[in-house]
Structure 1
Amino acid sequence: MTFKVLLHIVKTVSAIYAKRFNINRDEIWYLAKLQEELGELTAAHMKATRRGRSGSATPKELHAQKEDEAADLLAHLLLYADRNNLDLEKAIRRKWMAHLPAEIMDKQV
């Protein structure tokens, strides 16, 4: 799945959520949601690594919670980037892929 396809799906779900709960998604909302989701991922990680109260959750359930929270964080990062006209694919190529040797880059592109 490409970023573009994933962004389309995430925007659709986010719009449904915003309408259902009457949420005004302004500039601060997009940034605050990133912080909120990072906090939830941190809490899930703490539980899964037995640094927080995990209750009766199994290791498999705790792992699934980390996956879910990481997915939420990624989705909200895509929404934030879209709202702020950030081209994440271009930025990753510029910032990360520039460090790859040419022979690896040729295979990636």
Structure 2
Amino acid sequence: MDERLSDLTALARRISELYAERFDVERDATWYLGKMTEELGEVTSAYLKLSGQGRGTGSRRNLEDEVADLLGFVLLFADWQGIDPAEALQRKWGRYLEAQDA
């Protein structure tokens, strides 16, 4: 795994462990998938508010924070499933560059 992603995954794992302990949460498939879905909804809401298409006003900082939450939960899910996200992205998306360069 890319060193930077590995560091971010370790940070997310640490915070997740603190959260689970503090709130007595069982981190199972429902939790991981539910949290990613929840955070994607919050990214969507923050973006719509920022672009003037949602209720209320938004800020760039709020959008950034929600993207951070979503990334954290994607990294946690990948870690839980034993997926190297850097390798998976390179394999899946990188093939398009390989096809273009061929």
Task: State if a TM-score over 0.5 links the two structures.
Answer: yes
The amino acid that maps onto 1:67 is: E
How far, CA to CA, are the matches of 2:89 and 2:44 in structure 1?
Answer: 24
| Letter of the structure 1 residue corresponding to residue 24 of structure 2 | N
**In the TM superposition, what whole-angstrom CA distance separates every residue of 1:37-61 from its partner, at most 9, and x where no partner exists?**
0001111011101111224xxxxx6
Q: Does 1:67 align with 2:64?
A: yes
TM-score (norm 2): 0.86
Unpaired runs of at least 5, structure 2: none
Aligned to 2:88: 91
Structure 1 runs of 4+ aligned residues shifted over 2 Å read 98-101
Provide the C-alpha distance between the structure 2 equivalents of 1:7 and 1:89, rounded to a whole number of angstroms: 11
Query: d(CA) in 2 for partners of 1:51 and 1:81?
Result: 32
Q: For 1:22 and 1:40, how far apart are their aligned partners in 2?
A: 23
Unmatched runs of 5 consecutive residues or more in structure 1: 56-60, 105-109
Larger radius of gyration: 1
Q: Which amino acid aligns with 1:20?
A: R
Q: What amino acid is the match of 1:94?
A: R
TM-score (norm 1): 0.81
Aligned residues with identical type, % of pairs: 40
Amino acid at match of 1:33: K
Residue of structure 2 equivalent to 1:100? 97
The count of corresponding residues between Structure 1 and Structure 2 is 98
Aligned-residue CA RMSD (Å): 1.9
- Residue type of the partner of 2:77? Y
